[in-house]
Amino acid sequence: MAAEILDIAFAPFILPTSGALVLLIAEDTEPGEAQHAADAATQGAVSRALEAGEFKGRKGQSCIMLAPGAGLSRIVAIGLGKMAELTPHAVEEAGGRAAGAVQRDKHAAVAGALAPCQMAGLAMGAALRCYRFDRYRTKEKAEDKPRLATLHVLCAEPAAAKLAFAPLKAVVEGVFVARDLVSEPGNILTPTAMADRCEKLESLGLKIEILGPKELAKLGFGALLGVSQGSAQEPRVVVMQWMGASSGEKGKGKKKSHPAPIAFIGKGVTFDTGGISIKPAGGMEDMKWDMAGAGAVVGLMAALAGRRAKVDAIGIVGLVENMPSGTAQRPGDVVTTYSGQTVEIINTDAEGRMVLADVLWYCQERFAPKFMIDLATLTGAMIISLGHEYGGMFSNDDELAAQLFAAGTASGEKLWRMPLGEAYDKMLKSEIADMKHVGGRPGGAISAAQFIQRFVNGCKWAHLDIAGMVWTTKDAPCVPKGATAYGVRLLDRFVADHYEN
Ligand code: BES
Ligand code: MN
Ligand code: ZN
């Protein structure tokens, strides 16, 4: 299915006699068993290297010793910082750094004196770091590829760590599903191809429905179809359901009768040329990842199903390609959306909000969810506002916004709340239709959010504009360069913290 997850085994500490060894070292604790054993076996080389490298165990600090003796190819010390400040996310990052440092070795072990759930988090970080999309590299030499095949996590309670790792592994799997989708080029990952990949996730226990052009026309998805009409590729809307709370194991007592589900909606523009309002050529190749909001929703649903989350969740993605052609939509066109509201098209490059408009209205009408959260690479203006550090969050509900903000901080996929308001909404006034879909350049991400808000029908809602977050050009501890799958870990954390019973 998704790219393979690194093979990870948990075991009690025994000093390895080959391969690489990573020592996790905190700033404020005495050297542990592993450090002592490695130091003794190398006649004090570890102590000398840490001394010479001024290694203090600070967070993010590392020290690499090549061929230190005792049969090892390398020993890497990774700093954890102060134990009291060691958050779950910091542990994951340490795991990511550890994996990053030993990618040239076929076998590696990492040892640390942490609790079982921390060692599991460490393993998760390592697995996340080792993602690679190399389907289309047919000529890469073996010596140029990362070699790491197995990682042994050496700790005091390996059985407990292994148990704690099982749900985290499902989240990694979900992240990889999303990264694979986002990495695929537009000629391969068309709307139909992406829908087919969603369908494969039925094997996880997800219920999948796929709506094609006929169904969408019958329903009256005029906004989504208007975007799609210039493309030779057919649109799809995929409805994914994970009923982990209401259909789960019986006999747990106090079962409510079908509480409302929670819902996630994704923008899935498999390629965004801009349409008739065509984009400049430079950098247009990036627009293969204009389906990353949908990718994150699909990855999240895979994660929730994979770890059997006790929640009822709906994921809906609107999949289209935005192309210029003789059949393409024109600026000035007026379309009737699924909600019945009419929209004057100003710039065919503002297509994502049109897709979301129909899908959001459909979602609240059909499922009456507790709330809807949409994810979209919606505006360049969002990148101008927050760069590549935070996703932009817009919400009509303070509690929902606070929960999302907290999940962002905890997961490391950070969010920053942006304003909504009457004055921005006024920018959408049209002379011919109920509204236009573009409000002009100032506050462009905000007027886009205002537009979307007109299609949530009063439902609790948050809109995450993740345009700056879905692709990265440099390696981070748990995110190798390329597709990030931003949103999957954030929303998995959010669900786990607030919506599982
Ligand atoms: N997919 C783009 C937004 C985008 C641009 C994401 C660059 C990542 C990098 C979106 O469909 C778009 O083109 N938005 C326009 C809206 C404008 C025409 C009102 C934009 O942001 O320029
Ligand atoms: Mn666009
Ligand atoms: Zn777009």
- Any idea what the CATH number is for the domain that residue 376 is in? 3.40.630.10
Q: What is the pLDDT of residue 253?
A: 52
With 0.95 as the threshold, say if the pTM is over it.
Answer: yes
- 392 in the same domain as 254: yes
Tell me, rounded to whole angstroms, the distance of Cα 1 from its chain centroid: 17
- 192 in the same domain as 141: no
The C-alpha angle with vertex 422 and arms to 419 and 427, in degrees rounded to 5, equals 95
- 240 in the same domain as 151: no
Q: What is the pLDDT of residue 415?
A: 99
- 177 in the same domain as 105: no
Among 290, 379, 427, 463, say which to mutate for ligand 1: greatest number of ligand atoms within 8 Å of CB.
379
**Residue 210 DSSP SS3:** strand
Q: How far, in Å, from the CA of 405 to the mean position of ligand 2?
A: 27
Residue range(s) defining the domain that contains residue 452: 170-498
- Concerning whether 353 is annotated as a catalytic residue, the answer is yes
Q: How far, in Å, from the CA of 280 to the mean position of ligand 3?
A: 13
- 181 in the same domain as 113: no
Whether residue 220 is contained in a domain is answered as yes
Q: What is the pLDDT of residue 3?
A: 81
Assess whether the C-beta atom of 377 lies below 6 angstroms from ligand 1.
yes
Whether residue 1 is contained in a domain is answered as no
Are β-strands 312-322 and 262-272 bridged in parallel, bridged antiparallel, or unpaired?
parallel
What distance in Å separates the CA atoms of residue 101 and residue 479, rounded to the nearest whole number?
14
Assess whether the C-beta atom of 466 lies below 6 angstroms from ligand 1.
no
Q: What is the pLDDT of residue 362?
A: 99
Q: What is the pLDDT of residue 258?
A: 77
Helical axes 191-200 vs 292-306, angle rounded to 10°: 10
Q: Give yes or no for a contact between 348 and 325, defined as CB atoms under 8 angstroms apart.
A: no
- 191 in the same domain as 99: no
* Ligand 1 atom having least distance to the Cα of 269: 1
- 66 in the same domain as 32: yes
367: left (phi over 0), alpha (psi -120 to 50) or beta: alpha
What distance in Å separates the CA atoms of residue 170 and residue 311, rounded to the nearest whole number?
15
- 350 in the same domain as 371: yes
501 residues of the chain, pLDDT tens digit each: 578 999 999 999 999 999 999 999 999 999 999 999 999 999 999 999 999 999 999 999 999 999 999 999 999 999 999 999 999 999 999 999 999 999 999 999 999 999 999 999 999 999 999 999 999 999 999 888 999 999 999 999 999 999 999 999 999 999 999 999 999 999 999 999 999 999 999 999 999 999 999 999 999 999 999 999 999 999 999 999 999 998 754 555 555 567 899 999 999 999 999 999 999 999 999 999 999 999 999 999 999 999 999 999 999 999 999 999 999 999 999 999 999 999 999 999 999 999 999 999 999 999 999 999 999 999 999 999 999 999 999 999 999 999 999 999 999 999 999 999 999 999 999 999 999 999 999 999 999 999 999 999 999 999 999 999 999 999 999 999 999 999 999 999 999 999 998
Q: How far, in Å, from the CA of 329 to the mean position of ligand 3?
A: 15
Strands (E), 194-336: 207-211, 236-243, 262-272, 312-322, 334-336
Structurally, how many domains does the chain consist of?
Answer: 2
Q: What is the pLDDT of residue 247?
A: 74
* Ligand 1 atom having least distance to the Cα of 377: 6
- What are the backbone angles phi and psi of residue 417, rounded to the nearest 5°? -80, 135
- 208 in the same domain as 126: no
Q: How far, in Å, from the CA of 350 to the mean position of ligand 3?
A: 7
Q: What is the pLDDT of residue 256?
A: 54
Task: List the alpha helices (DSSP H) in 387-457.
Answer: 398-411, 422-425, 444-453
Amino acid at 305: A
**Would you list the DSSP string of 454-497?**
TTSTT--EEEEE-TTTSEESS-BTTB-SEE--TTHHHHHHHHHH
Whether residue 296 is contained in a domain is answered as yes
Whether residue 162 is contained in a domain is answered as no
- 285 in the same domain as 141: no
Q: What is the CATH number of the domain that holds 14?
A: 3.40.220.10
Whether residue 206 is contained in a domain is answered as yes
Whether residue 257 is contained in a domain is answered as yes
- Concerning whether 279 is annotated as a catalytic residue, the answer is yes
Q: What is the pLDDT of residue 92?
A: 98
Q: What is the pLDDT of residue 238?
A: 99
Last residue of a domain, one of 130, 157, 184: 157
Q: What is the pLDDT of residue 246?
A: 86
Whether residue 400 is contained in a domain is answered as yes
Q: Which residue has the tokens 């499922």?
A: 367
- 141 in the same domain as 245: no
